[in-house]
Structure 1
Amino acid sequence: MSKRKNMLTNEDIVCFSSIDWDFNWQGHQEIMRRLAAAGNRVLFVENTGVRSPQFRDYGRLVSRFRNWWRGYKGIRLEENNLYVFSPLILPFPHSRLARWLNKRLLLRLLNSWCRSQKFNNPVVWSFLPSWLTLELIKGLPCRILIYYCIDSFEHSSPQAARIKASEQEMIRLADLVFVTSEQLREHCSRGNANVHKFPFTVDYEPFEKARESADSQPPGDLGSIPGPRVGYIGGLHRWLDQELVASLAEELPGVNFVFVGPEQEPVDSLRGKANIFLLGSKPHARLPFYLRYFDIALIPYRITDYTDSVYPTKLNEYLAMGLPVVSTPIREVVFFAEQNPEMVSLGRRAGELAEVIRRRLAGKNSPEEREARRARIELARKSSWSVKIEQMSGLIQEKMDAVTGTVQPQWRERLAESLSAHREKTLAVLALAVLLYGVLLYSPLLYFLGSPLKIEEPLVRSSVILVFGGGVGETGRPGISTLERTHYAVELYQKHYADRIIFSSGYQQFRRKDAEDMVNIASGEGVPRESIIIEETAANNYENVVNCLALMRSHGFSSAIVVSGQYNMLRTKLLFEHQYELDPAHGLPSDSLHLAPVAGSIFFHPVEGSRFAQLTAILHEYAAVVNYWWRGLILR
């Protein structure tokens, strides 16, 4: 690592962020704010996304429109030297057409910005390795490219996993790659030799001031909660192990568990517990004053492929307040604990964590704990943002020649002149895009279009349950449709609607066979292997029907419940009816099949499901029905 530690200054920086400026305060904002304060001019481009918005994103969409409106063409001066761009784009990050349109809209504005503000050869710094970001970077003047890899996109969500190829390209093109964890270092080093580890850390000075403040009263909502207090700050997201926390609270009824942060997922497992308190989101500047009155700090994360690549920023914030830290053994915390003995106590299960907390509370006033507290604070000071950004600056300065620039006070007027010829066209395109998006995805039109495809019949005890596979997911593991259909079939079997199950799918990806996945899931939930028949050659819905009818005939089954997707029911029914017409001798009465779409599917949920994915599924079904009709596979 470079020994040069002078802060970067007098440079122009374009930052492509993976979060919005007003989102939970993280390293993205901290780094850019400090670079701007050091005399660099920064354009902070807010998140352009890796997935289509869902209903739960309504608040963020409103905030984006509001921020776009209060800026000029979406750009506003947030602080001295720091401009924030809140772009309005078509929210379909994996559509080539939408990406092409977004690129044209954004590049025109960004290049106009660079010309009007004399951003000559800026440093381009990206937290977001999407195809759109890559295309924008290639269309901009660029002194050097820095990619800061802070997430394992491959494991964070199915939609985020779709940018794997663009991330590999970003890693290959970058002049410098910064990472936040050992796993991400290993990941990025396969494509770039210039990789440096910089975990997100702590803005040490505000924590020091809060720790040494003469104010001896805790915040009001915390003051009403008696000690001892075990606390957590940060988002209450899906990586937080709620079941573990609930069990821990039961193990320690005399300890109060305090959570300070926004609820990003339902937290029903935590509500109603007498010694669990959810205080909600607080301004970032107030967090040290909550931490000051915790006895122990907690990191209760699930252990997953994703969390194995996560370095929790809160770890440094806890240490800056001198707090004992208790955590589940996610990889980066284990690595940190090995390098810094006695700084973190680990436990995988509630009983182990409870024992650690009891021991820590018992010794909290001991001389050993006072010495450990001083050591934690000193470690946090040495790894603060001030230190880390100076180290980053040394690496950046080695990669480029000095570029001087001056602040341009009339940026708004010059940008207006540069864009005046395109104003009406840009507004018209944006208005049309917003209107189209709202009509298609946030009106009843979607469900009106899909209603003719949905058929559900009363459940009747039958000879067998037919399950048509949903495909292997992009990770090579069973997709959500496969899981839902299999679980529903098992539920029907356990309720004695049939004594046998046929799993039908010839789909295979990454050496994973869909039919075998369904068998393994059902067996794991208690269905005897002898009750399962596997059909693993069907490549489409037509072959599902034909092959299952042949199996029913060979096994002497006289009736069946058919489990498939909600909007797949019409096509399935038409295929069965056509087979009856072609082969009356099959021996099955016309009312022997009962269609049972998956009950309560997450995919088709009006809030949790992706409306764009639902629209795609509906259009696909209509196209398939027309295709089958044209080929004579269903009745004309």
Structure 2
Amino acid sequence: MSAPATPGTRTPGSSRAPGDGTRRDLVVLSLEPWDEVWRRNQHLVAGLLADDPDLRVLFVEPPVDHLHDLRRGAPVRLGRRLRRLGPDDGAPQDRAWAYRPTKWLPRRLAPGGDDRRARTIARVARRLGMVDPVLWVNDPDGAAVLRRTGWRALYDITDDWLRAVREPAEHERVRAAEQVLVERCAEVVVCSPALARTKGTDRPVTLLTNAVDVDAYRTPAARPADLPDEDYAVYVGTLHPDRLDVEACVQVATRLRAAGARLVLVGPPLLDAMDLTRLEAAGAVVLGARPAALVPGYLQHAGALVVPHVVDDFTDSLDPIKLYEYLAVGRPVVSTPVAGFRDQPAERVTTASAPQLADAVLRVLDRRVPPGPGEAPAEVPRWSDRVQEMQQVLTRVRTTPR
């Protein structure tokens, strides 16, 4: 979850396409919506649009799942019709659209749902005049769109869902979808060295890690008004049951409240209602999602930046964007020994097991490091570099025969 570059500006080192009138269309099947919480796909797509005046993008958000929302106690949402993105969304005018389909029933009750959504996505693309776009698949369910259209495609793997805990039938479904994508896509991109090792055994893959808008995170920001008055440790990111160690968060929140401090959680809350209630009862301040441009303020004024993640094969496959955001800010970091964070030097990241995490956070808070970046901020990659790398991947895909 990170701050977008200012709409309409170009990042350092970018090279604008000459605008030769050759239209380039791109359909992105994303695991995340295009909203105020910016993630990898938005940073890359917005950068590509800024650099290439002949690029048009249809950004397909994950489908709304009413029954899933009801099961976890979340408000029921509606799918969103095709909508035009613009400068207020961080995209140029008249060259980007977002579409969010609806999943009405579970697959066991409506086994043809994926294919119906694939037909709808192809129809929406045709409405926009996208006859032969490149397909960028981030969601493995996008295999249905690839089968339906035959568009030239790339598969951008940011999570190893085959290592997530799922029911056997769901695991097999994801495995079959990923096999289609790995076999048929012209390019496979991965975001972490672990994914490069596991997905690169049978075919070439391109490693394209995450990054950060360094300037946004190092420019001093005001202290957000919704923070508690006490000292606080903060976690910024989606509260997702596959990543967040809820028990460790409860322990940290309990210990911090007893010591006169608070644990603050900033990000979309995808936990079930019972887990959210436990966190709040323990003293955690669950703020929910905040606009990406405001996120640096939550980090810059924190006594500690925490990463209470589960340590398992799934999280080992990740390249957390928060790693780059935390390092760019330069505040003390305390993390469970997860990929990316455990490889940092001790002066930048304190690692501790889940049972010891609360003690480690309290020790860091007791040091009372004054707000502001450290004396030697870490060198971290910028999204502008990753945009250029993805542009090279897309160029290779476009020159691949259908």
Could you say if the C-alpha distance between residues 363 and 123 of structure 1 is closer, same or farther in structure 2, counting changes exceeding 3 Å?
A: same
CA contact (8 A) 1:245 1:350 kept: no
Deviation at 1:5, TM superposition (A): 7.4
* 2:312 alignment counterpart: 304
Structure 1 Cα separation of the partners of residues 250 and 119 of structure 2: 50
SS, match of residue 306 in structure 2:
strand
Aligned equivalent of 2:84: 77
CA drift of 1:235 comes to 2.4
Letter in 1 for 2:30: S
TM-score (norm 2): 0.78
In the other structure, the counterpart of 1:375 is: 377
Partners of 1:288 and 1:240 in 2: how far apart? Answer: 21
Structure 1 match to 2:46: 33
In the alignment, which residue of structure 2 is the partner of 1:389?
387
1:219 corresponds, among 217, 220, 224, to 224
Partner of 1:244: 248
The 3-state SS of whatever aligns with 1:167 is helix
Query: How far 1:167 moved relative to its partner?
Result: 0.4
Q: Is the 8 A contact 2:208 2:389 kept in 1?
A: no
Is 1:205 aligned with 2:215?
yes
Percent identity between the two aligned chains: 24
Tell me, what secondary structure is at the counterpart of 2:140? coil
CA displacement, residues 133-152 of structure 1 (integer Å, 9 cap, x when unaligned): 2242244363x411111112
1:461-488 Cα distance to aligned partner (Å, 9 max, x none): xxxxxxxxxxxxxxxxxxxxxxxxxxxx
Note the alpha carbon deviations across 1:25-72, whole angstroms, 9 max, x for none: 3212222222222222111112248997451478675331xx22xxxx
Could you tell me how far 1:127 is from its partner in structure 2? 0.4
Distance change in 2, residues 1:45/1:37 (3 Å):
same
Contact 1:25–1:284 (CA under 8 A) maintained in structure 2: yes
Between structures 1 and 2, the one with greater helix share:
1
Tell whether the 8 Å contact from 1:326 to 1:346 is kept in structure 2 after alignment.
Answer: yes
CA contact (8 A) 2:303 2:368 kept: no
Q: Determine which of 100, 125, 135 is the counterpart of 1:86.
A: 100
What are the superposed Cα offsets for residues 450-470 of structure 1, whole Å, 9 maximum, x if unpaired? Answer: xxxxxxxxxxxxxxxxxxxxx
- Tell me by how many angstroms 1:108 deviates: 3.7
Amino acid corresponding to residue 215 of structure 2 in structure 1:
E
Q: Choose from 267, 278, 292 the match for 1:269.
A: 278
Confirm or deny: 8 A CA contact 2:16 2:50 kept in the other structure: no
Give the equivalent residue in structure 2 for 1:343: 348
SS at match of 1:12: strand
Which one-letter code corresponds to 2:234 in the other structure? G
The residue that corresponds to 1:147 in the other structure is 155
Cα displacement (A) at 1:84: 1.1
Equivalent position of 2:8 in the other structure: none
Quote the Cα distance in structure 2 between the aligned partners of 1:366 and 1:151: 33
Where does the alignment leave 5 or more consecutive residues of structure 1 unmatched? Answer: 69-74, 403-636
Deviation string, structure 1 residues 94-134 (Cα, Å, up to 9, x no partner): 65433444444443443x33xx52x353221110122xx22
Q: State the TM-score, normalized to the length of structure 1.
A: 0.52
Structure 1's 15 and 27: CA in aligned 2 closer, same or farther, altered over 3 A?
A: same
Higher RCO (C-alpha 8 Å, min separation 6) = 2
SS at structure 2 position matched to 1:201: coil
CA-based RMSD of the aligned residues comes to 3.3
CA distance in 2 between partners of 1:226 and 1:103 (Å):
50
Q: Counterpart of 1:14?
A: 27
- State the partner residue of 1:232: 235
* Residues 125 and 61 of structure 1: CA distance in aligned 2, closer, same or farther (over 3 Å): farther
Residue 310 of structure 1 deviates from its aligned partner by: 2.1
Report the Cα offset of residue 286 of structure 1.
Answer: 1.4
CA shift digits 1:528-563 (9 cap, x unpaired): xxxxxxxxxxxxxxxxxxxxxxxxxxxxxxxxxxxx
Structure 2 distance, partners of 1:120, 1:106, is: 12
CA 1:60–1:165 in structure 2 vs 1: closer, same or farther (change >3 Å)? farther
2:166 equivalent among 146, 157, 163: 157
Change (3 A) 1:78 1:323: same
Aligned pairs (5 A) from 1:170-569: 170-193=181-204, 195-209=205-219, 211=220, 213=221, 215=222, 218-222=223-227, 224-227=228-231, 229-238=232-241, 239-252=243-256, 253-265=259-271, 266-274=275-283, 276-334=284-342, 336-337=343-344, 342-351=347-356, 354-355=359-360, 357-359=362-364, 361-362=366-367, 364=369, 370-371=374-375, 374-376=376-378, 379-380=379-380, 383-401=381-399
C-alpha distance in structure 1 between counterparts of 2:267 and 2:118, whole Å: 35
